[in-house]
A and B are shown apart, each in its own frame.
Chain A
Amino acid sequence: MNWIAILLALGVMALLGLVFGIVLSFAAKKFQVDVDERVANVRAALPGANCGACGYVGCDAFAEAVVAGKTPPNGCRAGGAGAAAAIGEALGIEVTPAAPMVACVICQGTAGVAKDRYKYDGYRSCRVAASLSGGPKECRFACIGLGDCAYNCKFGAITMRDGIAYIDKNICAGCGTCAGICPRRVIELKPLNAQVLVRCRNSDVAREARSVCTRACIGCGRCVKECAYDAIHVEDGFARIDSAKCARCGKCVTVCPCKCITLAGAAQDLLESARNNAAV
């Protein structure tokens, strides 16, 4: 065996490696970029999914913005309370986690409740149907129900039931993809604890609203009078509930003549019964 050749090869490669290593270590010193230690710490506390739900291009950008004070430290939706606590630890401050959000369908226009304008038999997409003569339902604010939101939900939280979307609050991560994709803007992000919702946003005058859907908000204001906490106001022809003031007493639900205010959980039961009726 030619030991000299083997040692020579080893020596040459080791020497080359050594030379490059020394040059690179000098270059690393010369081109060193100073990173704010706090940015690195905050970055380490984030999930690193670069989902963009915070409104920044990625976790690095969000971390920089948090340290610079441009955005509240509880802004990471994907990380939730865990990330908020870790960021608080990294920065040495108290961070209160943001209220978890869920997507809510602001419509109850199931088949038979909302009137059909025509029978749509085309490509199964809300965005396509919405552009065809005002959409297949008479109400121009109604959920079209062809499932663009369900198709685009990354978590499988949305199913189409009886002509409108149904969102499972236990699965929904509050990413807001469905709210952005809906051509009717019928899905809104609401705090998870906002249990009382006005599930209509028809801003037409009462007679017109009522003529297209039996569950349409007509802006009568009975809920406003009933509310003892000044949480409900009628604007643009339909009622809105301020979830920060709402005490979840449920009185508005009982007085609403159109049954368009719902308590959490009740909406689901309603849909179930509607489906059973349809099946019979």
Chain B
Amino acid sequence: MMSEATGIVKILLFMVSCVFTSNYIFSQFLGICPFLGVSNKVETAVGMGLAVTFVMGLASLFTWVIYRFVLLTLGLEYLRTISFILVIAALVQFVEMFLKKSSPSLYKALGIYLPLITTNCAVLAVTLMNIDGAYNLLYSVLNGVFSAIGFLVAIVLMAGVRERLETANILKPLRGFSINLVIAGLMSIAFMGFSGLVK
């Protein structure tokens, strides 16, 4: 029975809803830029997804702490957007340095899309939704990490489809981004099937 659901079950349901039901790409249409830009190869798509997961998870943690203990105590709630952007930019910069050192090939493959995680609206959205949803610290971080895993699932699925498209015989006017957008739309419709999975 749902009413007797324990804390663990609640958390599991929350994770599933982050990944599938309210998938950032397919049901909220956030973060489309990297989704279309880096989804031409599964390998780089996984790298991008992991980088976004890292940034979103840490951003959720830091922004929650900053909002709760700095902005809220000082009555500066209206500064949340600008200070969250600062946190995200610093985190992305950190990830960039880390990748350049640890994995130069992934760093090259991600290229311009790595610093563009800063302007990935999904990252800012998740931090703002943590505040709007009045989540506690645990739920904020879970929301960040599992929403990003939803992003990872979406971008890897898309990359798998696009790798096959390389050899497909597509009508000339539909080649390139047109067919990608059509596919993204179809996948989004498929993800509508998850709605109602979690009440």
Contact = CB atoms under 8 A, between A and B. Distances in A.
A27 B76 CA distance: 29
Tell me which of B66, B97, B108 has the highest count of chain A C-beta atoms within 10 A of its own C-beta.
B97
B79 A13 contact: yes
B70 to A, nearest CB: 6
B83 A16 contact: yes
Contacts of B11: none
Contacts of B94: 23-24, 27
Interface in B66-80: 66, 70-71, 74-76, 79
Contact of A16 (B66, B97, B108): B66
Interface string A28-39: 100111000000
A33 B76 contact: no
Q: Is the interface of B mostly helix, strand, loop or mixed?
A: helix
Nearest to A57: B108
Interface in A2-60: 5, 8-9, 12-13, 16-17, 20, 23-24, 27-28, 31-33, 60
Contacts of B98: 27, 31
A8 B79 CA distance: 11
A8 B77 CA distance: 12
Given A8-B76, A31-B101, A13 B86 contact: yes
B91 to A, nearest CB: 9
Contacts of A16: 66, 70, 83, 86-87
Given A12-B71, A12-B74, A20-B90, A28 B97 contact: yes
A121 B84 CA distance: 64
- Taking residues whose C-beta sits less than 8 angstroms from the other chain, chain A's interface range is 10 to 19
Contacts of A27: 94, 97-98
Contacts of A8: 74, 76
Contacts of B66: 16
B10 interface: no
B100 interface: yes
B27 interface: no
Contacts of A5: 75-76
A5 B77 CA distance: 12
Contacts of A24: 90, 93-94, 97
B82 A20 contact: no
A16 B71 CA distance: 11
Nearest to A29: B97
Contacts of B82: 13
Interface of A: 5, 8-9, 12-13, 16-17, 20, 23-24, 27-28, 31-33, 60
Given A13-B82, A13-B86, A32-B101, 15 more contacts: A5-B76, A8-B74, A8-B76, A12-B74, A12-B76, A13-B79, A13-B83, A16-B83, A16-B86, A16-B87, A20-B86, A27-B98, A31-B97, A31-B101, A33-B104
